[in-house]
Amino acid sequence: MNILVIGAGGREHAIIKKLKENKSIENLYCAPGNGGISKDATCVNIGACDIEKMVDFCKNNKIDFAVVAPDDPLVAGMVDALEDIGVQCFGPNKNAAILEGSKVFSKDLMKKYNIPTAKYEVFYNAEEAIKYIEKENTYPTVIKADGLALGKGVIIAENFEDAKEAVNSIMNDKMFGESGNQIVIEEFLTGPEVSVLSFCDSHTIVPMVSAMDHKRALDGDKGLNTGGMGTVAPNPHYTEAVAKECMEKIFIPTMEAMNKEGRPFKGVIFFGLMITPNGPKVIEYNCRFGDPETQVVLPLLKTDLFEIFKAVRNENLKDIDIEFEKDEYAVCVVEASGGYPSSYPKGIAIEGLDENGNSEKAIVYHAGTIFEDGTFKTNGGRVLGLTQKGKTLQEAIDKAYNATTSIKFENMHYRKDIGQRALNAK
Ligand code: AMP
Ligand code: GLY
């Protein structure tokens, strides 16, 4: 089998390392990949959203199966284009990826099918949105651009002035481009957040082990929002009772709602949940694996990942048992470039890795590296994800942080408190 993974970050590296456990895979390609990924797969210099070039590459290299990992190629229809030329794909079609691609679509879907979420209104022009905020006069209020915005499309405004500025910059100044043609204004919810990734073949939905992200740049959940500075799995807030309620009120209803809308979903549905005093509610849907959730979820997966991917593609997920390690924890600490998520330098040499970009100290997922002149160098905001497993959460935390002392680079920034919120939850 010839397999292609599309994407370039830590999530894609985690998928590739897991796929490598399957011996039926002869050639593993990644487009575009990164320095670390190039040691585990053959990297191909094609942008993740370049549908035309990807189609040509698949034809010329007899690709049998493609895994489309990031949101933007999914929303742009990469799966449709590759399936059209006979490449089997893991990931939703364009008409199902809209679950993440449009917040207006997902909010309206939840309302129509009674799936618990924050109350909201949709606006098509700034003036009416601002009038509404003034009339409601409740803060904080949450303002969301409709489309993809590199994870930055959500603004939590503490007062009228900030809310007005957010609406104007999204709708009039188009800070997120066309993604801001429509906005959602919604109720501010409180409670712990849980990420649940699930495999869905449109008939069966199987949640993976739950995870907790740490989105802010600095310790104590301070600083700017990032793509994610670290994760732990499982998430202690996701108890068996909560899991049962989510399955009944959120997961199955979402899968069925997509079927009823004529948009059957095959791939990963990522449920961003908040466990509010009134029960679990959906904060957002993603149509893909999360980053860096994948870096703690897949190391705990015991079942062959490629078998799962094929079962989802062929709609026979019900025929396989998906198992995760029991009584085992995983922690991922992200090492970022100093300055991230604002501007940061690139090209700094990384210490502590062997010639394949690995280390005995942790599973090393490369997010933003380049391999140049025989060394790994930084090449992005989030550079590495160091994952460790343990019999207790504390053990996994200690082992992951122990790895940061030898795997390092100049001006490296990482949070010192990954997992503390989870420890305190107990
Ligand atoms: P997103 O970019 O959609 O992942 O949202 C970023 C973050 O904004 C979420 O992880 C939540 O912490 C927060 N958020 C989004 N919607 C709400 C809401 N309705 N109430 C409170 N916080 C929210
Ligand atoms: N970690 C959140 C995301 O992947 O969107």
Segment 232-290, tens digit of pLDDT: 999 999 999 999 999 999 999 999 999 999 999 999 999 999 999 999 999 999 999 99
- CB of residue 213 inside a 6 A radius of ligand 1: no
In Å, what is the CA distance from 114 to each residue of 25, 146, 223, 253, 379? Answer: 42, 20, 35, 8, 44
User: Is the pTM higher than 0.85?
Assistant: yes
Q: How far apart are CA 44 and CA 63, in angstroms?
A: 13
d(CA 278, CA 101): 27
More confidently predicted of 377 and 26: 377
Percentage of residues in the chain having pLDDT higher than 70: 100
Average of per-residue pLDDT values in the chain: 97
Rounded-to-integer distance, Cα 14 and Cα 165, Å: 39
286 close to ligand 2 (CB < 6 Angstrom): yes
User: Which listed ligand is nearest to 288 at the C-alpha?
Assistant: 2
Q: If you measure from the C-alpha of residue 292 to the centroid of ligand 2, how many angstroms do you get, rounded to a whole number?
A: 7
Instruction: Judge if the beta carbon of residue 188 lies within 6 A of ligand 1.
Output: yes
DSSP, collapsed to helix, strand or coil, labels residue 54 as helix
Q: Is 142 in the pocket of ligand 1 (CB under 6 A)?
A: yes
pLDDT for the residue numbered 426: 61
- Residue keyed to tokens 């809310």: 163
3-class state of residue 188 by DSSP: coil
State which ligand 2 atom lies nearest to the alpha carbon of 291: 4
Ligand 1 centroid – CA 150 distance (Å): 14
b (16+ CB within 10 A) / e for 385-397: bbbbbbeebeebb
For residues 135-149, give the mean pLDDT.
94
* Structural domains in the chain, sorted by start: 2-93 (3.40.50.20), 125-181 (3.30.1490.20), 193-319 (3.30.470.20), 329-425 (3.90.600.10)
Answer yes or no: is pLDDT of 137 > 80: yes
Q: Is the pLDDT of residue 28 over 80?
A: yes
Give exposure, 258-288, as e/b (b: 16+ Cβ within 10 Å): beebebbbbbbbbbbbbbeeeebbbbbbbbb
Q: What number is the average pLDDT over the span 71-85?
A: 98
pLDDT at 329: 98
Q: Ligand 2: distance of its center to the CA of 156 in Å?
A: 18
